[in-house]
Structure 1
Amino acid sequence: MRDKINPIRETDDEARGLARELLTAATTAALGVIEPETGAPFVSRIAFGLGPEGEPMTLVSDLAVHARALRADPRASLLIGESGAKGDPLTHPRLTLRASARFFAREDGRRDALRAAWLGHHPKAKLYVDFADFHFVLFDIAGGLLNGGFAKAYALDSNDLRVT
């Protein structure tokens, strides 16, 4: 019997750099959560950005299914990276993150800094960022998997993904 080939390469500076580029450039992400009512996976597209300390974040409304799901179970998965206009979509780099969500209350002392960072990424959000049902959520990254294209898969830990 032949030995199985491990498709995951040793993580190097090039992989770390590509993962950080994807995080920095992203304005949207696919968010995977567990739907509290059914226990089933649920995926939605969210606006995405980096906080003042480089931490992944989003702005969510209490009306969204994914907001209720994250309050019930903060475990989440994020998929970052867009397929290009041409070619096979699976050849374009993408980053999957395992994370835990933290909601910030309006009274939290960091809200002003989060708001400023968010509006730097999403200036049109100025229309609704201060609505009472909207909250900032930061994602504490446990690790992830970078697919940098054909035969370029890397396992990353939270230190590999730190954007400063």
Structure 2
Amino acid sequence: MEKPDPIRPTDDEARTLARQLIDDARFGALAVTDVESGGPSVTRVAIGTDQGGTPVTLISSLSAHWQALAASPRCALLLGEPGPKGDPLVHPRLTVHCTAAFVDRDSAEHAELRARYLESHPKSKLYIDFGDFAFVRFTAVDARLNGGFGKAFRLTADDLSGVPTSV
């Protein structure tokens, strides 16, 4: 007997939930390929979005994940935090498979990201202008949404596009 596919057809509700998880994210887990070991490595990063709703972060060149992204831009973001009560696995979460790109500090784009990022992460004012920090944009390749038990979806990059709902 053939097992049923646990992945549901992607619908507007799934797209809306995925978009909300991106727009509401202030932190996420970033998975990269570690330069030294060649194995997977995960770190927590602060997350914002650019004006088009694409996830961005601000990282230091002193960090291992900077070195990993510079060597291989393929990465993944896990977004969505467990609620204060109940089983953490019933809360929605989104894994976005991405390609990372560093933003040139001398570009107009950097200035726009800086202003937007400071709105959502005001404490970053302490280090945002340090010479070793740069923005990284995460362009989605595809994603996996777990909306809670029995609510799994595969999403395309186009499913994730849309105007951000928040700053």
Aligned-pair CA distance for 1:120: 1.4
Aligned-residue sequence identity (percent) comes to 50
Q: Quick one: distance in 1 between partners of 2:41 and 2:97?
A: 15
Equivalent residues, number: 163
* 5+ long unaligned stretches in structure 2: none
- 1:96-153 CA distances to partner (integer Å, 9 max, x unpaired)? 0100000012112211111111111101111110100000000110000000001000
Q: Quick one: distance in 2 between partners of 1:104 and 1:17?
A: 28
User: TM-score of the superposition, structure 1-length normalised?
Assistant: 0.97
Which position in structure 1 is the counterpart of 2:4?
Answer: 5
- 1:28-78 CA distances to partner (integer Å, 9 max, x unpaired)? 000000001110100000000111221110000001110110000000010
Which position in structure 1 is the counterpart of 2:42?
Answer: 43
Q: Quick one: distance in 1 between partners of 2:90 and 2:118?
A: 32
Which position in structure 2 is the counterpart of 1:115?
Answer: 114
- 114-123 vs 147-156, greater mean Cα deviation: 114-123
Q: Quick one: distance in 2 between partners of 1:124 and 1:36?
A: 30
- After TM superposition, list the pairs within 5 Å mapping 1:106-145 onto structure 2: 106-145=105-144
Q: Quick one: distance in 1 between partners of 2:102 and 2:134?
A: 7
Q: Quick one: distance in 2 between partners of 1:159 and 1:65?
A: 31
The residue type paired with residue 7 of structure 2 is I
Q: Quick one: distance in 2 between partners of 1:51 and 1:37?
A: 31
User: Secondary structure of 2:77's partner?
Assistant: strand
The residue type paired with residue 26 of structure 2 is T
TM superposition outliers: structure 1 runs of 4+ over 3 Å: none
Q: Quick one: distance in 1 between partners of 2:104 and 2:12?
A: 36
Q: Quick one: distance in 1 between partners of 2:70 and 2:81?
A: 27
Which position in structure 1 is the counterpart of 2:72?
Answer: 73
